Structure 1
Amino acid sequence: MHQLPKLDLKNKVSPEEWQVRVDLAACYRLLQLHGWDDLIHTHVSARIPNSEHLLINAFGMAFEEITASNLVKIDIDGNIIDKDSPFEINPAGFTIHSAVHEARHEDLCALHVHTNDTIAVASVEDGLLPLSQYSMFALASMSYHDYEGLAVNAEEKLRLQDDLGDANFMLLRNHGALTMGKTIGDAFMHMYDLTRACQIQLQIMATGMKPIYAPQSIIDGIKAQANVVHSGKTGGQTAWPAMLRRVYRSDPDFCK
């Protein structure tokens, strides 16, 4: 059996970078725990504070194998910063992430999945519908990007950036979903809300009964209401410590 190289970067990077590494590794583990991983495919990327460098998963690694130390540091073009790194990245899969990090410098994290539920809702003409409280969170900051084949063309980046705008949620037609966050916890909680919204929509539609749609006025007020509920904190800041504890209980080696 092929053994993965073991690295220990805890005392070789800044405390700020190490914290991002721990949070990002935890996010990958959470995707696996929720069944949102796709073999070795899809990515979560995060910007290292006060730098132009990003962290992303090594290509060929299952999400439950990702640790804080084996995340790969790259620049916005996907070039690996540490030339002695034993790992590679998937440059084709990085197209989406390079586009959104380039356009949204204030956001730390971009999370992309290929789950059945998000692909299904992204692949119907009406997209996400206002059928649940989860959908209200997403619809308050929603965008769409049409399918252009495998995301490997540099020309698609501008269209992707334009379609995303300042939204935190995106459904990629016939492809999957993308969420953005000022923290890794925010991006994760956004994907949690979007995934639950898609699951519930599909379950409602499967009943064949007439659904009840929430009015647009409710959707318009959700952001303001969410700020009151979280008392100035984002959903990710509130829930993320509990998610870190959940990952640690599952496998404490993620933070090595």
Structure 2
Amino acid sequence: MSVAASSPTGAETGRGPTEWALRCELAAVYRLVDHFRMTDLIYTHISLRLPGPEHHFLINPYGLLFSEITASSLVKIDLDGNPVDPPPAVPTGFGVNPAGFVIHSAVHRARPDAHCVLHTHTRAGCAVAAQRDGLLPLNQMSMEFYGRVGYHAYEGVALSLAEQERLVADLGPHPALILRNHGLLTVGGTAGQAFLRMYYLERACEIQVTAQSTGVPLVLPEPEICERAARQLTGEPLDDPELGGEDDYVDADAGALAWGALRRLADRIAPDLAT
């Protein structure tokens, strides 16, 4: 049983059951990012849009490590960065990372499908973000992002509202963005989907850097094979005869099963996340 299913709701938390369940989902993502060593002290961020016409979203309080994030400590803000209600579990003085607001509010405003936005500064991610050719189709994990990742040129620390328009234009309709000389960003319809995309984008970057470090020539599959694999991994139809795949099996439950396993892991490693 997940923490969200057994955690207090409603009057016990001062929030409705839907918001509380989403808080638990997002807190689980923070703990999993920490568990898989994708953190940068207090400086990266994950946000999750709440249902409703108000366009409110949850984000981490600036100053807490990801290992300290709980469901009740998450900050609820609007698209202009204004706090909607105070986070009772956070010490006075903890606000929102300005760069986090600039990046996340831009994506939430421009992409109604991007319910969750996840940003990292990992070693492998930053290494690939510094490479002219970006992410290469070197392995099956990278195929999910073949032709499906945007690139945003470095403009300095993301503290300027003027950068927002260019950032969302570079993200476009893609599920992922490589911020040149900076890091990685993924979006998802759920917190779990955004996390799984980041997990595999990070692994693809790790494999690329490792393969490049061998100093031997690298093999890249043919473009049509890369596109076929991308569609298989993303669940897109294989409607091009040149791609084949008419008899391919479809693993429609893979994402849900993987996220369910990760939620169980989060419950074990962070039993306090639903507080």
Q: Hey, what does 1:252 align to over in structure 2?
A: 271
Give yes or no for the alignment of 1:242 onto 2:229.
no
Identify which of 57, 62, 66 aligns with 2:65. 62
TM-superposed CA distance for 1:77, in Å, is 1.4
Correspondences of 1:184-199 after superposition (within 5 Å): 184-199=191-206
Greater CA drift, 171-180 or 245-254? 245-254
Q: How does 1:1-256 map to 2 (within 5 A)?
A: 11-51=13-53, 52-83=55-86, 86=92, 87-226=94-233, 227=235, 229-231=250-252, 233=253, 235=255, 237-256=256-275
Distance 1:106 1:185 in 2: 14
Superposition deviation, residue 204 in structure 1: 0.7
Give the structure with higher Rg (CA). Answer: 2
Please list the CA deviations of residues 180-200 of structure 1 after superposition, one character each: whole Å capped at 9, or x if unmatched.
000111100100111111000
Equivalent position SS for 1:255: coil
Distance 1:91 1:132, change over 3 A: same
CA shift for structure 1 position 134: 0.6
Counting aligned pairs with the same residue, the percent is: 46
What letter matches 1:213 in structure 2? L
Deviations 1:56-89 (A, max 9, x none): 0011001111000110000011110015754411
- C-alpha contact 1:140 1:222 (8 A) present in aligned 2: no
The residue aligned with 2:241 is: none
TM-score (norm 2): 0.85
**Number of equivalenced pairs:** 247
Amino acid at match of 1:67: T
Query: 2:75 touches 2:87 (CA, 8 Å); kept in 1?
Result: no
Q: Distance in 2 between matches of 1:254 and 1:19?
A: 12
Structure 1: gaps of 5 or more residues: 1-7
**Counterpart contact for 1:40–1:62, Cα < 8 Å:** yes
Distance apart, 1:19 and its partner CA: 1.1
What is the Cα-based RMSD across aligned positions, in Å? Answer: 1.7
CA contact under 8 A between 2:107 and 2:114: conserved in structure 1?
A: no
In the alignment, structure 2 segments of 5+ residues that lack a partner are 1-8, 236-248
1:190 aligns to what SS in structure 2? Answer: helix
Q: Give the partner amino acid of 1:82.
A: D
Q: CA deviation at 1:219?
A: 2.4
1:173-217 CA-partner distances (Å, limit 9, x unpaired): 000000000011110010011111100011111111111101211
> Matched residues in 2 for 1:223 and 1:208: separation?
27
Structure-1 separation of matches of 2:222 and 2:228: 11
Structure 1, residues 136-164: CA drift from partner, whole Å, max 9, x if none?
01224111000000101111100001100
